[in-house]
Amino acid sequence: MSFSPPSPANRAPLLLQTPPFHASVPLLGQVQCSWGDLTPSYDAPADNDAVRSLLATRTGGTFWAPLPPPDARRAIVVCASGDPARATALWTAARNAHEVERIVFSLPEPDIRFQPLTQCIRAVGGAVVASSVNPWALFDNAADIICDADEIGTLAALGTLRDLPVWRNAAGSLDLIRDSTAAGRAITLLDHATRYRCPFHGTPITAQDAIALLDEWQQIIMRNRSTAVCVGMSLWKRRRIADLFATANPRRPFPVFRRGTAGAVSAARGRGGIAVWSTRMPPGLDRRAEAATVPVARVEDGFIRSAGLGSGLLPPASIIVDTRGVYYDPARPSDLEHLLATHPLGPDLQVRAEKLIACIVAGGVSKYAHGGAAPDLGAPPGRRVVLVPGQVADDLSVRLGGAGIAGNLELLRRVRAACPDAFIVYRPHPDVDAGHRLGAIPEEQVLTLADHVCRVGAMAPLLDIVDEVHTLTSLAGFEALMRGKAVTTYGQPFYAGWGLTQDHAPLARRTRRLTIAQLAAATLLLYPRYIDPLTRLPCGPEVLISRFGMPSLWRPTLLMRLRRHQGAFRKAANKGAQSVFRTIAAIWRRP
């Protein structure tokens, strides 16, 4: 089906629109013709797959917009054009045909030219709403749509897809004529006459692909709007956090930021919940928020985060927002544990998860990096290679989920006792090795228990060449499971207890048996929120992984470079101090 391109003024409306997450969002598609040039489809709306998807998801038009007030949900929806004279004629035609108490009149965005008409309509008992209102709520009580003879807008086109009859005022007349072709034209417009493009890659997509994306965005918007205040968010990451919590509401595009308990609770009261960075919770926040009936959610980095360290001041491209607890605290079930224990995690989700796992493995993706060459471990041929990932000593996942193991050195002792003949590789945590966090162990001390210390390269290629991973609570255990490696846990990480790991400290409440695909589906597809650092739009992990191949998106800022030098200085200072202490100890032991 081909169309001659219309002028912008006469072009039929774009039915599937990108929510205004920020000022420069890309369009989802381009309409190829005017309304009059559309050849009506012979399908009934109920017989078209794209229409069924649209109606089921209630996307299309300004679906993110405010709901119309209860008084505006009336039987006769009148959709005016942008011309005041024609809008007045349309009002007269509608009023002649129906009782004014049954009419809601939809006008373009606030315009002083429509003020007299608005006052007139309201004075006689009619209702007036902006055309950017949520269309589906407006249609819930509707029986008929009336629109201009020469122009049909998004609202009317969506209404006819819902099988509402469309009436138009005849040119030069106040009579209303039934438009029997409106539904067929709207189907053609939705499914054939619009070229849809993926907003992330610019590739062609179908109407159903676009609707599925809008449905995902709709769910994200609803979740984001439940958060009124963000607390504990460092200045260097606030713009990214604002994008991750974007509401598509111009009046409140993202939550407000507060630092202290009193200000956060006051700002959230009556408006929504508080999202707090879990390691930076102000004193008394839980108690004060509970007293004010303000819900509190914990925020942490996602599991596919960025091409660089958070401790190096690189903002996260994914986060988790947990309303029950947080995934690394086994004291109570988190949202992630609830998903793993109760969600169906059905076939479609598993297929997507399997494709994602294949992408992660092929691309060498881990939490902070991707790609890279495998290091030379020097392991003797035939000897079992066991990786022990180091962790940050004061990390909450160690303190809360470590099952009483004090730190990296004690973990190494446990692993050596369990694997006396194995070739043990110790991998310091990158934040610790960069000098940003606690947990460093002198290499000579490590080598009394391990055979090799691996500091170079990314985690993913290292996982590819080991046989097993023995860990306290490290995410490396989950990454190893996706690569088919045997994993033994000594703490209580989120991925333990589902029949996929050997566990030294099992949790009795975790009784469900999962596949790797089900574990990955909940952990990587359902639990986190992702943002595309290029378009600043909410996305899936697949899009974020594709951006790891764009170095310009991860180029270090001046602040990040200063932070890197700070870490190197701290690391050198710590080494120097340790050397001094060893010298003093050696002198003290002399006879």
Final residue belonging to a domain, choices 150, 171, 205: 205
pLDDT at 585 over 50: no
pLDDT at 6 over 70: no
Q: Which of 140-154, 208-222, 252-266 has the lowest mean pLDDT?
A: 140-154
Residue found by looking up tokens 């009002």 in the block = 91
8 A C-beta contact, residue 127 and residue 72: yes
- Over residues 358-415, the pLDDT tens digits come to 999 999 998 877 778 899 999 999 999 999 999 988 788 889 999 999 889 999 999 9
Number of helical H runs and strand E runs in the chain: 21, 22
- The Cα 119–Cα 465 span in angstroms is 75
Strand 166-169 vs strand 144-147: parallel, antiparallel, or unpaired? parallel
Q: Is 233 in the same domain as 322?
A: yes
Q: Is 157 in the same domain as 256?
A: no
pLDDT at 3 over 50: no
Q: Is 299 in the same domain as 381?
A: no
Q: Is 483 in the same domain as 391?
A: yes
- The pLDDT value given to residue 436: 67
Q: Is 323 in the same domain as 386?
A: no
Q: Is 336 in the same domain as 439?
A: no
Final residue belonging to a domain, choices 342, 376, 397: 342
- The pLDDT value given to residue 310: 45
- What is the residue range of 471's domain? 364-554
11 band by pLDDT with thresholds 50, 70 and 90: confident
Q: Is 237 in the same domain as 181?
A: no
Residue 523's Cβ-side half-sphere holds a number of Cα atoms within 13 Å equal to 26
Q: What is the mean pLDDT of residues 554-560?
A: 60
8 A C-beta contact, residue 497 and residue 516: no
Final residue belonging to a domain, choices 205, 236, 268: 205
590 band by pLDDT with thresholds 50, 70 and 90: low
Q: Give the pair of three-digit tokens for residue 396.
A: 């909450």
171 band by pLDDT with thresholds 50, 70 and 90: low
Q: What is the mean pLDDT of residues 498-517?
A: 98
Calculate what percentage of the chain has a pLDDT beyond 70. 90
- The Cα 216–Cα 209 span in angstroms is 11
- Over residues 283-335, the pLDDT tens digits come to 999 999 999 999 999 999 999 997 665 445 789 999 999 999 999 999 999 99
Does 561 fall in a domain? no
Does 477 fall in a domain? yes
Q: For residue 577, count CB atoms less than 10 angstroms from its CB and return exposed for 0-12, middle for 13-18, buried for 19 or more.
A: exposed
3-class state of residue 227 by DSSP: strand
- The pLDDT value given to residue 580: 47
- The pLDDT value given to residue 150: 67
Residue found by looking up tokens 């951006």 in the block = 547
Does 251 fall in a domain? yes
Distances (CA, A) of 103 to 159, 168, 283, 442: 15, 15, 54, 78
- The pLDDT value given to residue 573: 55
Which residue type sits at 70? P
- The pLDDT value given to residue 174: 78
Contacts of 406 (CB under 8 A, 6+ apart): none
Torsion angle of alpha carbons 515, 519, 522, 527, nearest 10°?
Answer: 180
- The pLDDT value given to residue 294: 98
Strands (E), 398-527: 423-427, 452-453, 468-471, 486-489, 502-503
Q: What is the mean pLDDT of residues 271-276?
A: 98
Q: Give the pair of three-digit tokens for residue 339.
A: 């998903």
Q: Is 421 in the same domain as 515?
A: yes
Q: Is 243 in the same domain as 194?
A: no
Q: Which of 13-27, 127-141, 298-312, 369-383 has the lowest mean pLDDT?
A: 298-312
pLDDT at 556 over 70: no
- The pLDDT value given to residue 561: 54
Q: What is the mean pLDDT of residues 445-461?
A: 93
- The Cα 28–Cα 15 span in angstroms is 10
- The pLDDT value given to residue 367: 83
8 A C-beta contact, residue 237 and residue 246: no
3-class state of residue 297 by DSSP: strand
Q: Count structural domains, the chain.
A: 3
- The pLDDT value given to residue 148: 84
DSSP class of 458: -
Mean pLDDT of the chain: 90
Does 5 fall in a domain? no
pLDDT at 46 over 80: yes
Does 540 fall in a domain? yes
Q: Which of 3-17, 130-144, 429-443 has the lowest mean pLDDT?
A: 3-17
Q: Is 396 in the same domain as 527?
A: yes
Does 489 fall in a domain? yes
Q: Which of 210-219, 398-407, 550-559, 578-587 has the lowest mean pLDDT?
A: 578-587
Does 87 fall in a domain? yes
Q: Is 35 in the same domain as 106?
A: yes
- Over residues 94-106, the pLDDT tens digits come to 999 999 999 999 9
10 band by pLDDT with thresholds 50, 70 and 90: low
Q: Is 105 in the same domain as 200?
A: yes
- The pLDDT value given to residue 576: 55
8 A C-beta contact, residue 336 and residue 322: yes
- The pLDDT value given to residue 409: 94
Phi, psi torsion values for 433, nearest 5 degrees: -65, -25
Facing residues of 144 across strands?
76
Report pTM: 0.89
Does 565 fall in a domain? no
Nearest C-alpha neighbor of 13 from the set 194, 180, 197: 194
What is the domain-level CATH number for residue 316? 3.40.50
